[in-house]
Amino acid sequence: MPNNALLTDLYQLTMLQGYYQQNMEELAVFEFFIRKLPKNRGYLVAAGLAQVLTYLEHLQFSSDEIEWLASTGRFKPAMLERLATLKFTGDVHAMPEGTVFFQNEPLLRITAPLPEAQLIESRIINLLHFQTLIASKAARSVLIAPDKLLVDFGMRRAHGSEAALLAARASYLAGFAGSATVAAGLHFGIPIFGTMAHSFIQTHRSESQAFIHFAEANPDNVVFLIDTYDTEAAAQKVVDLAAALHAQGIKIKGVRLDSGDLADHARKVRIILDRGGLNDATLFASGNIDEYKLAELMAGQAPIDGFGVGTQLDTSADAPYLDCAYKLQEYAGIARRKRSEGKATWPGRKQVYRNYDNNGVMSGDTVTVDNAPCAGQPLLHLVMQGGKTVAGQPTLIEAREYARCQLNGLSLPLRQLSNTPEYPVIISAELQALAKIVDERNTG
């Protein structure tokens, strides 16, 4: 994963040139938040913090990069000298990965000398936005089909290699069982899944021969793809092969459907397998699956045990981006905000407090000035201090378990796939008062 300092917008560097020239290096506070949840999202799931921390710990311009920057003619020697030794030395407060959150709630706060805090904006958004987008999308499938095996199948249509890897991670974090993407197994220790494509069937003279060859080569991982020519006919071939494979010590684990009316095929195939004594063989389905399709299949009680969820998940197709921002909240000890039309932000360092009802269901959050008294659980914690990650950050497995608990705290209306109510996020009186002070200063 490229982790370099040039993964930024040019305006960060032209601004740094201004900051350095004016010696504007006092502490700045920036926060990352989502302005408004997309249509059909009742909640979001924070993800991507681990990659942000790695990025910040390794932030550095190589000498080749400095040389290239010099060659553009845009930067003065004094600026390039500063960049050559730049490190991230600041603090990071953040919601742990897997935290459920809502509109206007900062999930990350950066406190660092202004040039450092500015430079990192583009990549921090890039990392937090994407994994949060995908974890939030994946959680919807997890909550709709809690007892099904859900596997990320989206690598091919993910937007590039990093998207494929991070989508595997984010969906696993949200409760998926694993991914088909092999590199995600190596990089993140995520369980990987996969058996055969149609091409394997097509390269053989017959479907049955393809099944036998696959089983002999992968005796512990026998799931046959049965829709290449005729789904039910192929299910019967699977039944007919079972005894011979059994004699070789090979067990048929299941079959996969990938086209047509999945519920209808699943019912017919289930009957064929059961009649043939393959009651233990599972049915796995793929092909244009998303949470809406899952809801339909669950409502119809389609006898399907697991699903490959691909394109719709990895591109978050029904909401391919979040309206997020990383905004200056304070500089040199003074709270700030912009008032651009439709884009005004709440100023100052903030904290989010969460309250629950007696059943452990989330009942409302308050966004307030950091350190102001407030009821509820604070959601932002110190995760990096002076450029070093605080010890004891959760593993991916721990974050996954935390996400599971968080999702359990969602009310049923918020879990709906559409027409979700807006969760109450209160802006505290202290924060509103601070905004007023900031505005009066700027207009004065």
Could you say which residues in the range 312-351 bind its own copies, by CB under 8 A? 315-317, 320-322, 324, 326-328, 331-332, 336-343
Among candidates 125, 108, 127, 13, which has minimal Cα distance to 61?
13
Site for its own copies in 122-151 (CB under 8 A): 122-123, 125-127, 129-130, 133
Residue type, 125: I
- The least CB distance from residue 327 to its own copies, in Å, is 7
Specify whether the CB–CB gap between 434 and 329 falls below 8 A. Answer: no
**Binding of its own copies by 153 (CB under 8 A):** yes
Q: Who contacts 117 (Cβ-Cβ below 8 Å, separation ≥6)?
A: 28, 29, 30, 90, 110, 111
Residues near its own copies (CB under 8 A), total: 106
Which one of the spans 154-162, 242-250, 370-378, 383-391 is the region binding its own copies (CB under 8 A)?
154-162
Q: Which of 83, 108, 150, 201 binds its own copies (CB under 8 A)?
A: 201
In the region spanning residues 13 to 32, those forming contacts with its own copies, defined by CB under 8 A, are 13-15, 17-22, 24, 28, 30
Q: From 195-203, 246-254, 385-393, 398-406, give the range in contact with its own copies by CB under 8 A.
A: 195-203
| Residue burial 377-403, b: 16+ Cβ < 10 Å; e: rest | eebbeebbeebeeeeeeeebeebbebb
User: Which residue's CB is nearer to its own copies, number 10 or number 429?
Assistant: 10
What phi and psi, each to the nearest 5 degrees, are found at residue 332?
50, 40
Nearest in space to 47 (alpha carbons), one of 160, 138, 130, 165: 130
Residue 192 in contact with its own copies, rule: CB under 8 A: yes
163 forms part of the interface with its own copies (CB under 8 A): yes
- φ/ψ of 113, rounded to 5, equals -50, 140
Report the site for its own copies in 43-72 (rule: CB under 8 A).
Answer: 65, 68, 72
Minimum separation from the CB atom of position 273 to its own copies (A) = 19
Residues 250-279 that bind its own copies (CB under 8 A): 258-260
15's enclosing H/E stretch is: helix 10-21
| 398 touches its own copies (CB under 8 A) | no
Contact 352, 64 (CB under 8 A): no
Q: Are the CB atoms for 339 and 439 separated by under 8 Å? A: yes
> Applying CB under 8 A, does 162 fall inside the site for its own copies?
yes
Of 87-95, 165-173, 362-370, 411-419, which segment contacts its own copies by CB under 8 A?
165-173
Q: Are 91 and 384 in contact (CB under 8 A)?
A: yes
> Interface with its own copies by CB under 8 A: which range of 183-191, 245-253, 271-279, 395-403?
183-191
- The closest alpha carbon to 156, from 131, 179, 174, 140, belongs to 179
40 is a contact residue toward its own copies (CB under 8 A)? no
Q: Which of 198, 251, 404, 415 binds its own copies (CB under 8 A)?
A: 198
